[in-house]
Amino acid sequence: MRFFDSHVHMVSRTTDDYQRMAAAGVAAIIEPSFWQGQPRTEVGTFKDYFNTLIGFERFRASQFGIQHYCTIGLNPKEANNEKLAEQVMELMPLYICKEGVVGIGEIGYDDQTPAEEKYLQLQAQMALEADLPIQIHTPHRDKKTGTIRTMDVLEDVGVSPDKVIIDHNNEETVRDVLDRGYWAAFTIYPHTKLGNERMFEIMKDYGAERIVVDSAADWGISDPLAVPKTAALLNERGISVEEIEQVTYHNPLKAYGQSGQVEENDWEGIEGIDPTALFEGNTLLRGGMDIETAMSQYLIE
Amino acid sequence: MMLEKLISILEKSAAAEAVSWLRETVASQRAEFQQRPFYYAFSGVSRHFDKKAGIEPTTDDLAELEKEIAGFTVKHWDEFRLARVILLIVLGEQEKSTFQETLDALLNTADLREQTAIFSAYPLLPHQEDLIESAIDGLRTNIVDIYDAIALDNPFPSQHFSDEAWNQMVLKALFIDRPLYRIYGIDYRANLPLAEAMSNLAHERWAAGRWVSPELWRSCANFLTEQIVEDVARVADTEEPGQKEAAALIVANDDEGKLDHIRDKVKTFLDDVADSRLTWNSLGEQL
């Protein structure tokens, strides 16, 4: 089975991760622009970060046979540094129409401050102007209110819900998001966000339509194999292969494909997705754990 | 004129809608230059043209371009590169400060294919003396496509680089296995320090038991120092594709008789050189 992980921060991951992802069938990924843990103090570091996303990281992924796309945006945390935020907004037009940029993101609320709202609006307008999908980060604290407020803001600006992927949903937010016509993404992230057994329960209730599963693996304790592992768990629990493929591959492709910057054709026939071709004669994991062992522990709590 | 000519080449193979989008963009930016829409257009070429499509210039097209600017060619370009170069010509028509500021911003934020387009456009842009530093800096890349855009099939370096910068570029070509025959001005810009550096590089490789490209000797042909004369004798004895041919090309070029003692070793190739069946370019193409 092939997977499309539409949310993963590869700048924080190692080549071991890339090898395991390729071996587990991850064909393509989207790296959203985000906060890097350490707050930035200069606009130049944003520029170099964006350059990394469209440059070196894309190249690094390609060496493992993985197609790398990105979204460009000012994240909500750093939107609160207004002086910096203004400069980032001036920088963004240089990036958003580039090849392989599949949306504006990840943007949204963190603390739900007025500054965050201002830059959410401005970036939503920019997405309209460039006719791009939007990738929404929903806040960890007061998530339900923040999610609904995000959708209100987007609708005020005039963005069409089918061009928006709302991420980090849970049992509390999914109903509103789907009812209002958005794509609902779920981040399978150990301990702090959502385990994959909960994902199974959600799919039992809501099916697969407009549902997306991603890993959001980053610099924290997270799992770059979350998408293939969740597929394995869903399969074991009896979700149909067709529905699994929808949430782990076809839906994110359709949602972000609206940018015109990602299509299945991009990775058809690329060598390296077949791990035996890329890593011939080598064990897959330098860390010692082979892919069977890694994938056998597919429950994420 | 150049811009029209390039659009007509693009038109031969690119989708009609894409070309008409480009024409409209050129017209509106010429009427009133606006930076943000220009950014969108420059990167947005990827939203209109076919990312996998090359262009199809005719031999006549290439001859016409070469006549306009010696050494300039679009032979190996794709649609993205040509469309972006056309937009950069329009940028070049703007006031100097706008041109420089915008070009700077584009280069600083360019992805790989945008960078190749920017460097490929250099021979067509104004204020070229201000572009030299960025071209030299661009060559420090590890990415072959970017190196190629500056060093290969581009008349800009031969016209503007100092000997030091030129020599670094040519030496690097050998380090990253790029074809020297595609460096425009390779013979005209040859110089003694480069010839000596080339010879030293060959010695280093021989010491390591590694292969030496026959093309390396091209820059040595007019600088037959004692060491290089010995080198050519060694090359003439090397049984690898292209080595004796390279020696023959140098021998044929030697009108001071410094290499007469090895003439016999390469004589089978000297006839080919005499009737131009063997040239440095044909040798480079073969390799």
Q: Which residue is listed with tokens 């074809």? A: B179
Residue A50: pLDDT above 50?
A: yes
Q: What is the tens place of the pLDDT at every residue in A106-121?
A: 999 999 999 999 999 9
In a domain, A280, yes or no: no
Proportion of chain A above pLDDT 90, given as a percent: 85
- CA dihedral of residues B240, B242, B247, B252 (deg, nearest 10): 150
Report pLDDT for A261.
95
Whether the per-residue pLDDT at B236 is higher than 80: the answer is yes
Closest-CA residue to B43 (of A101, A163, A260): A101
Tens digit of pLDDT for each residue in A36-46? Answer: 889 999 999 99
Question: What's the whole-number average pLDDT of chain B?
Answer: 96
How far is B188 from chain A, CA to nearest CA, in Å? 35
Residue B171: pLDDT band by 50, 70, 90 thresholds? very high
| CA distance linking residue B82 with residue B61, whole number of Å | 14
CB contact under 8 A, A97 and B39: yes
Please check whether residue B116 is in contact with residue B81, taking contact to mean a CB–CB distance below 8 angstroms: yes
Residue A287 located in a structural domain: no
Confidence check: pLDDT of A213 > 50: yes
pTM above 0.90, yes or no: no
Interface test with A, best of B111, B112, B115 (most A CBs within 10 A): B111
User: What local confidence, expressed as pLDDT, does residue A16 receive?
Assistant: 93
3-class secondary structure for B24-58?
HHHHHHHHCCCHHHHHHHHHHHHHHCCCCCECCCC
Q: Are residues A164 and A212 in contact, defined by beta-carbon separation less than 8 angstroms?
A: no
Dihedral of alpha carbons B65, B70, B76, B81, sign? negative
Verify whether the Cβ–Cβ distance B109 to A55 is below 8 Å: no
Instruction: Please answer whether residues A250 and A243 qualify as being in contact, where contact means their C-beta atoms are separated by less than 8 angstroms.
Output: no
Pick from B40, B155, B160, B49: nearest CA to B109: B40
Structural domains counted in chain A = 1
User: Judged by CB atoms within 8 Å, which residues 27-66 of A form the interface with B?
Assistant: 47, 50-51, 54-55, 59
Chain B contact for A261, CB < 8 A?
yes
| Residue among B34, B36, B42, B43 with most chain A CBs within 10 A, to mutate | B43
Q: Residue A123: which domain range?
A: 3-267
Look at residue A272 in the predicted model and tell me its pLDDT.
52
Of the candidates B36, B51, B109, which has its C-beta nearest A99's C-beta? Answer: B51
Among A24, A15, A168, residue whose Cα is nearest residue A4: A24
Tokens of A135: 């990738």
Chain B residues with CB under 8 Å of A130 CB are 40
Separation of alpha carbons A164 and A182, rounded Å:
6
In 3D, which of A178, A152, A88, A78 has the Cα closest to residue A126? A88
Residue for token pair 């991603």: A214
Q: What per-residue confidence (pLDDT) applies to A61?
A: 94
CA B111 to chain A, closest CA, distance in angstroms equals 6
ipTM of the shown complex = 0.80
CATH of the domain at A219: 3.20.20.140
Chain B residues with CB-CB distance to A95 below 8 A = 43, 109
Q: What are residue A283's phi and psi, to 5 degrees?
A: -70, 150
**B109: nearest CB among A47, A100, A130:** A47
On average, the pLDDT of chain A sits at 92
Task: Say if residue A280's pLDDT is above 70.
Answer: no
Buried b (16+ CB within 10 A) or exposed e, B203-218: eeeeeeeeebbbbbbb
Cα(A117)–Cα(B218) distance, integer angstroms: 64
Predicted confidence at residue B33, as pLDDT, reads: 98
Locate all alpha helices (DSSP H) within A181-257, ordered by sequence: 196-206, 226-236, 241-245, 251-257
| pLDDT at A288 (0 to 100) | 44
Mean pLDDT, to the nearest integer, of B191-209? 97
Residue A295 lies in a domain: no
pLDDT band at A191 (very low <50, low <70, confident <90, very high): confident
pLDDT digits (tens, 9 = 90+) for A71-127: 999 999 999 999 999 999 999 999 999 999 999 999 999 999 999 999 999 999 999
Q: Which residues pair with A71 in a beta bridge?
A: A32, A103
B14 to chain A, closest Cα gap in Å? 18
Say yes or no for a CB contact (<8 Å) between B46 and A130.
Answer: no
Does residue A76 form part of some domain? yes
Residues of A in contact with B36 (CB under 8 A): 93
CA pair distance B192, B179, nearest whole angstrom: 21
A141-171, pLDDT tens digit by residue?
A: 999 999 999 999 999 999 999 999 999 999 9
Element (DSSP H or E) covering residue A107: strand A101-108
Say if B211 is an interface residue toward chain A (CB within 8 Å). Answer: no
Omega of the bond leading into B204 within 30 degrees of 0 (cis): no
- Going by C-beta distance under 8 Å and a sequence separation of 6 or more, which residues neighbour residue A86? none
Find the angle CA(A267)-CA(A268)-CA(A271) to the nearest 5 degrees.
Answer: 75
Question: What are the boundaries of each domain within chain B?
Answer: 1-161, 163-287
> For position A287, what pLDDT does the model report?
42
Asked if B40's CB is within 8 angstroms of A47's CB, the reply is no
Residue A224 lies in a domain: yes
Which residues, numbered 130 to 149 in chain A, qualify as contacts with chain B under a Cβ-Cβ cut-off of 8 Å?
130
Under 8 Å between Cβ of A154 and A124: yes
Residue A149 CA to residue A153 CA, distance in Å, equals 6
Chain B residue with the nearest C-alpha to that of A90: B36
Q: What are phi and psi of A242, to 5 degrees?
A: -60, -45
Beta-carbon separation of A99 and B111 below 8 A: yes
Q: What is the DSSP letter of A72?
A: E
CB nearest to B108's CB, from A47, A93, A99 = A47
Residue type, A131: D
Q: Which residue of B has its CA nearest to A259?
A: B47
- Out of A47, A93, A98, the one facing B36 most closely (by C-beta) is A93
pLDDT at A294: 76
Interface test with B, best of A62, A98, A104, A126 (most B CBs within 10 A): A98
Chain A touched by B142 (CB under 8 Å): no
A232 within domain boundaries: yes
Give me the DSSP letters along chain B.
-HHHHHHHHHHTTS-HHHHHHHHHHHHHHHHS--HHHHHHHHHHHHHHS-TT-B----HHHHHHHHHHSTT---TT-BHHHHHHHHHHHHHHTS-HHHHHHHHHHHHHT--HHHHHHHHHHGGGSS-GGGGHHHHHHHTT-S-HHHHHHHHSS-SHHHHH--HHHHHHHHHHHHHTT--GGGSTTTTTT--HHHHHHHHHHHHHHHHTT----GGGGGGGTT---HHHHHHHHHHHT--STTHHHHHHHHHHH--SSTTGGGGGGGHHHHHHHHTTSS-HHHHHHH-
Contact of A34 with A218, CB cutoff 8 Å: yes
pLDDT at A284 over 60: no
Q: Is A247 helix (H, G, I), strand (E, B) or coil?
A: helix
Q: Which of A230, A249, A260 is CA-nearest to residue B49?
A: A260
Nearest to B47 among A54, A94, A97 (CB): A97
Condensed to tens digits (0 to 9), the pLDDT of residues B120-156 reads 999 999 999 999 999 999 999 878 999 999 999 999 9
> Hey, are the CB atoms on B113 and A130 less than 8 Å from each other?
no
Per-residue pLDDT reduced to its tens digit, A218-257: 999 999 999 999 999 999 999 999 999 999 999 999 999 9
Mutate one of A97, A122, A131 to test the B interface: name it (highest B CB count within 10 A).
A97
Asked if B145 has any chain A CB less than 8 Å from its own CB, the reply is no
Coil vs helix vs strand at A237: coil
Q: pLDDT at position A217, please?
A: 96
pLDDT above 60 for B60: yes
Q: Average pLDDT, stretch B53-61?
A: 96
pLDDT at A301: 82
Q: Chain A within 8 Å of B27 (Cβ-Cβ)? A: no
How high is the pLDDT of residue B55? 97
Taking CB atoms and an 8 Å cut-off, how many pairs form between chains A and B? Answer: 46
Structure tokens at A81: 């540094």
Q: What is residue A289's predicted lDDT score, i.e. its pLDDT?
A: 56
One-letter amino acid for residue A101 of the chain:
V
Interface check for B114 against chain A (CB to CB < 8 A): the answer is yes
* Cβ separation B47–A260 shorter than 8 A: yes
In a domain, A275, yes or no: no
